[in-house]
Chain A
Amino acid sequence: MAEISISVRTPELDGIERRLGPSLLPALHREIAAEVGETVRVHLRRYALGHHKTATALGARPTGNLEDARVEATSDATGATVTVRALGIRRALGPLVIRPKRRQSLTIPVASIAYGRTLAYLRLRGLDIFRPKGKNYLAHTVEENGKARIEPLFILVKQVTLKHEPALLPTQGELAANALEAARAFVMEGKS
């Protein structure tokens, strides 16, 4: 599963760190990690709820890949890091080119039954899947009103480029503001 790590550094944060001194840095970084981690978690959840275009178009159940994203906030004396693990999360950083690793082609689902499923899984479920001669898709035969009809399940492609999706994550500016807010609150709580 793909993962990306987010670290936030700003001159203001550096200034707060210098003023606090090394002994308080682990606690400060823990505070920042918790704050930014929760912000990323909420952002991903909200993004996921509003982005099920393909599943909706196919009348299929969303895969829930982003809803199941793992967000881990870790910290130590040197800094805070938030790691996000989810399928396709690298789209947040730039276009993502996907090529088949073990097969000749990638399979892009075009039917509800195929969405979020693998070819092997559907075959195990008893579907007789074949590639019609001269076509670049995999299909199976369905019977409707006593007539057999070929239903395409997957289009075969050599590679796919997923477009850059910066909205998958909060912007660096939002995260920096978030981290700074946590740092300032940490300082204020220490004074009170």
Chain B
Amino acid sequence: MDAGELAYELHKLARAGAEAALKHLAPGLRPVAEAYNAGEIGLGEVRERVAKLVAASEARINLMMQTQRRMAQSLGQLAAQTPGQIARYPAWRLVRGGTRKVPREDWKRRWDAAGLATGWQGALSGDFVALKDSPIWGALGQGAGGFRDTIGNPYPPFAFGSGMTWERVSRDEAQKLGLVSG
């Protein structure tokens, strides 16, 4: 991914985040705008009501923004890939990147479903490790196995609120795991 592609992807992310937040807030904003246009409330009241709406939607908006941030982090990781990096670290390991009060316990099922869907091409079944170009990453993001909370991207966080991320795996370790030959 070059700088232009990265900038385009980040622009798309920012726009999608803003649109999603607005879509979520729109039903509540409409009556406020109508009341203001009808002269029933002033700007001070508008500010107060909008602030209350945003506060009431905090969890949802935070989830959207956090997901966008995590996606941007992954895009940054992908953009930093050089031929040398790929040669020295040919694989990713899926790891928990954020603390959750109640972490999802279904990543093994997700991984197995994605592995089966892609014939375990470049991926291990006993460990969350796969080559950087393995199709398993795409399958994870597409929700292989019927998971409906996925985002559709071949990079973390894969699903809303997942807290999952990538850590690179060295060539030595990938060889020991049998993912690459010597």
| Chain A interface (Cβ < 8 Å from any Cβ of B) | 30-31, 33-35, 37-38, 41-42, 45, 48-49, 52, 61-62, 64, 67-68, 70-73, 121, 124-125, 182, 185-186, 189
Q: B80–A52 contact, CB under 8 A?
A: no
Of B14-22, B95-103, B137-145, the stretch lying at the interface with chain A is B95-103
Judge whether A38 and B66 touch: CB under 8 Å.
no
DSSP class of A's interface residues: helix, strand, loop or mixed? helix
Q: Which residues of A contact B181 (CB under 8 A)?
A: none
Contact B80 A68 (CB under 8 A): no
A61 CA to B62 CA, complexed, in Å: 13
Q: Given contacts A30-B82, A34-B85, is CB(A67)–CB(B55) below 8 Å?
A: no
* 9 nearest CB pairs, A to B: A124-B55, A34-B80, A67-B98, A31-B84, A62-B99, A34-B85, A34-B82, A68-B69, A124-B51
Instruction: Give the CA-CA distance A33 to B79 in the complex, in Å.
Output: 12
B180 to chain A: closest CB distance in Å? 16
Give B68-102 as 1s and 0s: 1 = Cβ < 8 Å from A's Cβ atoms: 01101100110011111101110000011111010
* Residue B162 at the chain A interface, CB threshold 8 Å: no
Residue on B nearest A50 in the bound complex, by CB: B99
Contacts A64-B99, A68-B66, A73-B80 known; list 11 others, CB within 8 Å.
A31-B82, A34-B80, A34-B85, A35-B85, A45-B165, A48-B98, A48-B99, A68-B70, A182-B88, A186-B84, A189-B83
Q: Does B176 contact A (CB under 8 A)?
A: no
Closest to A44 in B: B97
Closest residue of chain A to B70 (Cβ to Cβ) is: A68
Interface: B167 (CB within 8 A): yes
List of B residues within 8 angstroms of A45 by Cβ: 95, 97, 165, 167
Tell me the bound Cα distance from A41 to B163 in angstroms: 15
State the CA gap A182–B51 with chains docked (Å): 49
Binding site for A on B (CB under 8 A): 51-52, 55, 58, 66, 69-70, 72-73, 76-77, 80-85, 87-89, 95-99, 101, 163, 165, 167-168
Query: Which residue of A has the minimal Cβ distance to B86?
Result: A34
**CB pair B77 A61 closer than 8 Å:** no
Instruction: Determine if A42 and B167 form an interchain contact, defined as CB atoms under 8 angstroms apart.
Output: yes
User: Distance in Å from the Cβ of B85 to the closest Cβ of chain A?
Assistant: 5
A61–B101 contact, CB under 8 A?
Answer: yes
Choose among B55, B69, B73, B87 the residue that contacts A189 (Cβ–Cβ < 8 A). Answer: B87
Which residue in chain B gives the minimum CB-CB distance to A56?
B99
Give CA–CA (A125, B83) in the complex, Å. 51
Complex: A70 Cα to B167 Cα, angstroms: 16
Task: Give A38 to B84 CA distance when docked, in angstroms.
Answer: 13
Q: Which residues of A contact B51 (CB under 8 A)?
A: 124
Q: A35–B77 Cα gap in the complex (Å)?
A: 11
When the two chains form their complex, are residues A64 and B80 in contact, meaning their CB atoms are under 8 A apart?
A: no
Question: Does the CB pair B76–A71 fall under 8 Å?
Answer: yes
Cβ contacts under 8 Å, A189 to chain B: 83-84, 87
Residues of A within 8 A of B82 (CB): 30-31, 34
Cross-chain contact of B81 among A34, A49, A61, A182 (Cβ < 8 A): A34
Q: Which residues of A contact B52 (CB under 8 A)?
A: 124
